[in-house]
Amino acid sequence: DLFKKTLPSASMSFVQVQSTLSLQRKEAMAVLVQVREHVQVSQGRHRIDIVMLALSGKKIGFEKVITMIDELVATLKKEQIDDESKKEYCAVQFDESDDKKKALERTLADLQTVIEETKEGIATATEEIAALLKGITELDKSVAQATEQRQAENAEYKDLMASNGAAKELILFAKNRMNKFY
């Protein structure tokens, strides 16, 4: 048991892992170069440049660099949260806009249907008006013919009545004469 405790277990090895300061700087510089490519000037790119400059120098300690990196990470997290909330807002706005667009398209289709039905109704009404005008014209002609016929019949009646009146007078005259003679 004593021997097992003094020797490292199987998970431990005799190889010493050593990370030198220059290796850490190189790795940090590589990460910062990658981050710098995705960050625009307006988003604080100058901070990354300052951190890279500090890493490339030999006299500045890592405390300021780590503080600046922590601030940069916090800023990026905050911007990521802001971007996600803006993305959600935009998605909601797109959905609302799509709903409004669909409603307007339905309204437009309904209005086009109403317009077509109204046009058909106007065409039908125009045909009916033309037929009624034709009927009125024919009725006016028949009324004019009937008026002429009544006027002719009235004149004929007046002539008949005048003839009848003259015949009555003649009969009365003949009757009086006959009465005188007989």
Q: What pLDDT is attached to residue 28?
A: 81
Low-confidence residues in the chain, pLDDT < 70? 1-19, 21, 57-62, 65
- The verdict on pTM exceeding 0.75 is no
* The token pair that represents 31 in the structure block: 């990460």
Q: What pLDDT is attached to residue 180?
A: 87
Q: What pLDDT is attached to residue 139?
A: 96
Q: What pLDDT is attached to residue 9?
A: 54
Q: What pLDDT is attached to residue 24?
A: 78
Q: What pLDDT is attached to residue 160?
A: 94
